Amino acid sequence: MKRNILVAVAWPYASADIHVGNITGSYLPADIYARFHRLQGNEVLMVSGSDSHGTPITVRADEESSTPEEVYQKYHQRFLDLFQKIGLCYDLFTSTHTQNHFRVSQTMFSALKEKGYLYTETQKQWYSSSQERFLPDRYVEGTCYICGYESARGDQCDQCGKLLEANGLINPRSKMDGSTPELRDTEHFYLDLGALQPQIVEFLKEREDYWRPNVVRQSLGQILAEDLHGRAITRDLKWGVPVPVGGWEEKRLYVWFEAVIGYLSAAIEWAELTGDPERWKEWWYNPDSRAYYFIGKDNIPFHAVIWPAELAGVGNTFGALFDEDDQHSLVLPYDVPANEFLNLEGKKISGSRNWVVDGLDFLTRYDPDPLRYYLTANMPETRDADWEWEEFVTRNNNELVATWGNLVNRVLSFAHNQWEGKIPDPGELRPEDQNILEVLQEGFEKVGDLYDRVKLRVALTETMRLAGEVNKYLDEKAPWFEIKEDKDAAGKSIFTAIRAIDSLKILLAPVLPFTCEQLHRTLGYDKPLFGEQYTDSVEDNLGTHEVLRYRQGDVCCEWQPSVLAAGSPFHKPQPLFQKLDPEVAEEEYNRLG
RNA sequence: GGCGAGGUAGCUCAGUGGUAGAGCAGGGGACUCAUAAGCCCUUGGUCGUGGGUUCAAUUCCCUCCCUCGCCA
């Protein structure tokens, strides 16, 4: 039975480049998951975009004497470039700065308001009269009222480590221009999480048995211990989504409230772009569809608590306001398989201290599949992991080149030389041949189950173990001896080995799409394994935004063992992977810091 | 302070109520189809500490210690 799978991927904040930690945290696992389900024949919709609003972008714009729009566009373009190069097959990677997203976000806001889950409250906040704007807490500095440290930030003191009430800072000054801010009243809308708490607790408890413990227990434990309270969802800002209420023209929706709505708005935009504007409902209004949210652990509260609260809160009111469908509620997250963090050589990744492996920079020297492989083999699914250049080189050489790449190369070279580029006809297979093919067949179930449960790291380990089994089989049969005595016997071995390789190709394809596609062509297939990525320009009343799209097209192969036929032609193999000089590890390490 | 995750062979990690596994690294061997890759054999661990439940715990419960994260 075909299933609708929504692969919802974290929205990168458009004010910094993406590094390997970001990639393995959410983007890569999402892509692997989407590719797996595409091979399964399920209806996959993978969406995300650039988180384009918020104060840091306006601050960056001020620093660079440009506009928030220019800042977000710059990084957005770089995201599109990177995602194509590492093969992230988004059905739509868009932006929050679109007319469509504005409309969807404002509808969510209005629906929550109509349901009574919003209220307003007035608070005091630092206001810079020189800049004529309210300052976010972290842009105010002053003397800590606890320890007396003179350069405490508005939200936290770096000396005593205490979190501060910004209003209490002594001698406050703006980090922007050093001027002295004053406290002013400002009114904001709040999301009444307290009122939504029972629904959230029920939502989490229903999923407690299959969610990752660090995601669900943390959230649930915290709520049960301390209860939820309202959170402001508007800001005094000019850049962002306007608040759809009269008299609120000077304020915007707070990014944390609005960005998560992107999962819904991107699906709606995708449907519009494909010319089938109702199609997003197959994922969002269909109670049998499953929504998976791939995020880093820093985003857990927003996806395990706040976004579900927004969705549960609107109920069927979103549809009623948006497209006059009051029969359906929006689908709640099925799973939030958040990853932990990736450290780098034992230390926290830090862009500003150059302790980072940047995605685009990496790809100027290495191929995407070795990156995807290493990040998957080492994915921080249950706890923080560590990127070590030495391990990257070792795994590349020992596992990709030696175990898998060499298996492909030794079999196909031998076969191509001895059978003139055609797959030998094996006649009747021997028990040992059938045995290894059965091992592979069972692999499809086992590995498939692991992928499905988002245990990508183990799925890959198990697949590589199977590659090892095929190497073993080959050494036992030793077709290079068989051929001297009995070419038919060698033909059986080689036929079996090629089928095994062709099957392994499918098992590995979610993780290694580029090299599996190459192998796929070498084996003589006409149609590709996957569709193609492409960019597109979309115009609306906010301007133009580039998007990344995916065209599934006419593909072949499903999540099934190989049925490659005897006699079919194939090409002489080219190495799938480059062996790396061990010195590379040291060179790369020396680039850091 | 509250909530949570993790502490298993030199390294990276699996795993289970019945006295521990993989890969890499280390040691030895036979072979040559292959990017000197692959294959076979092998050396490594009182499964953080102290208790408890049990016929039996690394696996369940509690204390404590260490690491990391989240919240106020």
Q: State whether residue A156 is helix, strand or coil.
A: strand
User: Nearest residue (Cα to C1') for B32?
Assistant: A480
Say how far apart CA A75 and CA A64 lie, in whole Å. 14
Tell me, yes or no, whether A209 lies in a domain.
yes
In this predicted model, which residue has the larger pLDDT, A143 or A10? A10
Q: Which residues, in sequence order, are CB contacts of A275 under 8 Å at separation 6+? A: none
Q: Given this model, what pLDDT does residue A463 score?
A: 93
pLDDT digits (tens, 9 = 90+) for A280-306: 999 999 999 999 999 988 888 899 999
- CATH of residue A145's domain is 2.170.220.10
Which nucleotide comes closest to A575 if you measure CA to C1'? B35
Model confidence at A164, in pLDDT bands (50, 70, 90)? Answer: low
Q: Given this model, what pLDDT does residue A501 score?
A: 96
Tell me, yes or no, whether A480 lies in a domain.
yes
In this predicted model, which residue has the larger pLDDT, A169 or A197? A197
- CATH of residue A410's domain is 1.10.730.10
| Res A156 pLDDT > 70 | no
Tell me, yes or no, whether A160 lies in a domain.
yes
Token pair of A257, please?
A: 């409230």
Distance A546 CA to B4 C1' (A): 40
Tell me, yes or no, whether A402 lies in a domain.
yes
Token pair of A589, please?
A: 């390490």
Q: Lowest-confidence range among A117-131, A316-330, A400-414, A460-474?
A: A117-131
Tell me, yes or no, whether A18 lies in a domain.
no
Which nucleotide comes closest to A224 if you measure CA to C1'? B3
Distance A341 CA to B60 C1' (A): 30
Which nucleotide comes closest to A163 if you measure CA to C1'? B72
In this predicted model, which residue has the larger pLDDT, A571 or A144? A571
Alpha helices in A65-121 (DSSP H): 68-85, 99-114
Which nucleotide comes closest to A156 if you measure CA to C1'? B72
Q: Which residues, in sequence order, are CB contacts of A472 under 8 Å at separation 6+? A: none
Mean pLDDT of A117-132: 87
pLDDT digits (tens, 9 = 90+) for A488-502: 999 999 999 999 999
Say how far apart CA A281 and CA A290 lie, in whole Å. 12
Q: Say what percent of chain A tops pLDDT 70.
A: 97
Which nucleotide comes closest to A395 if you measure CA to C1'? B24
pLDDT digits (tens, 9 = 90+) for A359-398: 999 999 999 999 999 999 989 888 888 898 989 999 999 9
The helix, strand and coil proportions of chain A, stated in percent and rounded to the nearest 5, come to 45, 20, 35
Q: How far is CA A209 from CA A53, A301, A445, A446, in A?
A: 36, 18, 22, 20
Distance A236 CA to B12 C1' (A): 48
Mean pLDDT of A325-335: 94
Distance A482 CA to B40 C1' (A): 20
pLDDT digits (tens, 9 = 90+) for A517-565: 999 999 999 999 999 999 999 999 999 999 999 999 888 878 999 999 9
Q: Which residues, in sequence order, are CB contacts of A399 under 8 Å at separation 6+? A: A373, A377, A464
A148: left (phi > 0), else alpha (psi -120 to 50), else beta?
left
Say how far apart CA A71 and CA A75 lie, in whole Å. 7
Which nucleotide comes closest to A298 if you measure CA to C1'? B70
Q: Which domain holds residue A208?
A: 115-235
Distance A472 CA to B55 C1' (A): 43
Tell me, yes or no, whether A417 lies in a domain.
yes
Say how far apart CA A496 and CA A510 lie, in whole Å. 23
Alpha helices in A138-292 (DSSP H): 193-207, 213-226, 255-259, 262-273, 281-284
Given A235, A262, A277, which residue is the final one in a domain?
Answer: A235
Tell me, yes or no, whether A427 lies in a domain.
yes
Say how far apart CA A333 and CA A141 lie, in whole Å. 39
Q: ipTM, 2 decimals?
A: 0.91
Residue with tokens 């308001």: A113
Distance A566 CA to B53 C1' (A): 62
| Res A80 pLDDT > 70 | yes
Tell me, yes or no, whether A500 lies in a domain.
yes
Cβ proximity of A357 and A374 under 8 Å: no
Nucleotides of B under 7 A from a protein CB: 2-6, 12-15, 22-25, 31-35, 37-40, 68-72
Mean pLDDT of chain A: 91
Q: Given this model, what pLDDT does residue A385 score?
A: 86
Cβ proximity of A516 and A536 under 8 Å: no
Q: Given this model, what pLDDT does residue A153 score?
A: 72
Distance A238 CA to B16 C1' (A): 58
Which nucleotide comes closest to A301 if you measure CA to C1'? B70
Distance A403 CA to B11 C1' (A): 20
User: Nearest residue (Cα to C1') for B13?
Assistant: A378
Distance A93 CA to B60 C1' (A): 47
User: Nearest residue (Cα to C1') for B2?
Assistant: A225
Model confidence at A166, in pLDDT bands (50, 70, 90)? Answer: low
User: Nearest residue (Cα to C1') for B6?
Assistant: A383
Mean pLDDT of A183-208: 92
Distance A379 CA to B35 C1' (A): 27
Sign of CA dihedral A122, A306, A267, A87: positive
Partners of A43 in beta bridges? A4
Given A202, A235, A268, which residue is the final one in a domain?
Answer: A235
Model confidence at A471, in pLDDT bands (50, 70, 90)? Answer: very high
User: Nearest residue (Cα to C1') for B38?
Assistant: A471
Q: How far is CA A82 from CA A24, A400, A592, in A?
A: 14, 22, 21
Query: Domains in chain A: how many in total?
Result: 2
Given A235, A268, A287, which residue is the final one in a domain?
Answer: A235
Say how far apart CA A13 and CA A7 lie, in whole Å. 18
Q: Which residues, in sequence order, are CB contacts of A495 under 8 Å at separation 6+? A: A423, A424, A425, A426, A429, A433, A566
Mean pLDDT of A96-109: 97
